[in-house]
Amino acid sequence: MNPPPTVFAQILAGLDANELSRAAARFPMSRASRSLGVYDHFAAMVFAQLTHRESLRGIEACLGSRSARAYHMGIRGRVTRTNLAYANEHRDWQVFAEVAGVLMRRSRRLYVDTAFELGLAVDLFALDATVIDLSLALCPWARWQKDQASVKLNVLLDLRDDIPVFANIYEGNRHEVASLDEIPVYPGSGYVIDRGYLDFLRLFRLHAAGAFFVTRLKSGIRYYVAESRPVDETVGLRCDQTIRLNSRTGRRQYPVPLRRVSYVDPETGQALVFLTNWFALDAFTIAQIYRRRWGIETFFRWLKQHLRLRGFFANSPNGVRIQIWSALCAHLLVAIAKQRENLPASLYEILQIVSVSSLEQIPLQELFMKIDTRNGHIDIPKQLEINYS
């Protein structure tokens, strides 16, 4: 009987090689590498993420020591430090971005049966950005402040299953609010947005498209109260108001009423003021929706702790972006494998086990089977006596 494919090959099965080829055809290299194709490049970068490789030499050493298994995983080229460095420098990062988009759509379809958040019958998304620090000496193109360099990863996260549905990467000096012009807008869905994204003209575009948003109100915003509703102060609510913007610019950018909800967190005592266009929900649900925004902070922490987003294999803008996109692809491939194989473990557990068994030839489900190996006492009843009479 033929042995099963390697664990890493089973993870890569979430992406068809033809989809990767189509993405590469849209953004061809000016001078393609003859010995390292786009699939070899992609597989090597995802392998580095899943196995925590620290350098291009480490990738070369690991795959070179198991060249026969690498061949059966579809890696037919010469994965060397020189070839990887050339590909990271010259293959357009948008190839990896296109593949990440394919995986986002696939994972969202797989998780479509997940229960809705907070009992709502609509999709709920969280939008935020995280700063990925770089060395200013090695990456002067990413200067953010006087002595700091960074890029920002902006993500729109589906809060039902913590799967990203949109992402982009840009320099650290670009303001996050510009991402509101780029995210997909799904009518009837809810968007939980940090107050750093508070821009009334862009929020009105969400409202006009039939989407709902929940954000925090900044101090200094001029408005007047058009209506007040009673609230239950025992759960932390302080007020529930319908307001209109009072400044000339505010009235022009957001000409319709808004809802203002004041809430004091019973656990921390922190006073929070929410701004939303969601009038159909009760005020306490609005507060709970914003509390759920913490899911995207957990997602960013997970990426930075368990994938390769601290030390980079390249210093160029293209190489840095390729590595960040490959980290997102690795996360999505693991999420797809979890749902496709119905694995009981968490994403963290799957990633840890895959990292030490990626080149083993064993079915994924067997890796997560719990077998009781304890030597317990077995009570064997006495054999019945045979009666010859």
What's the whole-model pTM score?
0.89
Residue 385 confidence (pLDDT): 57
pLDDT at residue 257, rounded to an integer? 96
Q: What pLDDT tens digit does each residue of the chain (389 aa) get?
A: 577 888 999 999 999 999 999 999 999 888 877 788 999 999 999 999 999 898 999 999 998 888 888 888 888 888 999 999 999 999 999 999 999 999 999 998 888 877 777 778 889 999 999 999 998 899 999 888 778 899 999 999 999 888 999 999 998 888 888 889 999 999 999 999 988 889 999 999 999 999 999 999 988 899 999 999 999 999 999 999 999 999 999 999 999 999 999 999 888 889 999 999 999 999 999 999 999 888 899 999 989 988 888 889 999 999 999 999 999 999 999 999 999 988 888 888 888 898 888 888 888 888 887 655 556 555 555 555 556 55
Backbone angles phi, psi at 359, to 5 degrees: -100, 5
**Rounded distance between C-alpha atoms, residue 288 and residue 266, angstroms:** 12
Query: Tokens at residue 387, please?
Result: 């009666």
DSSP 87-118: HHHHS-HHHHHHHHHHHHHHHHHHTTTSPPGG
Please answer whether residues 138 and 150 qualify as being in contact, where contact means their C-beta atoms are separated by less than 8 angstroms: no
Radius of gyration of the chain (CA): 26
Query: According to the model, what pLDDT value does residue 1 have?
Result: 56
Gap between the Cα atoms of 327 and 308, Å rounded: 7
What domains does the chain contain, in order, with CATH numbers? 7-95+314-367 (no CATH), 195-279 (2.20.25)
Would you state the pLDDT for residue 2?
A: 72
Q: How far apart are alpha carbons 258 and 246 in whole angstroms? A: 12
Assess contact for 358 and 50: CB atoms under 8 A.
yes
Q: How far is Cα 348 from Cα 75, in angstroms, rounded to an integer?
A: 26
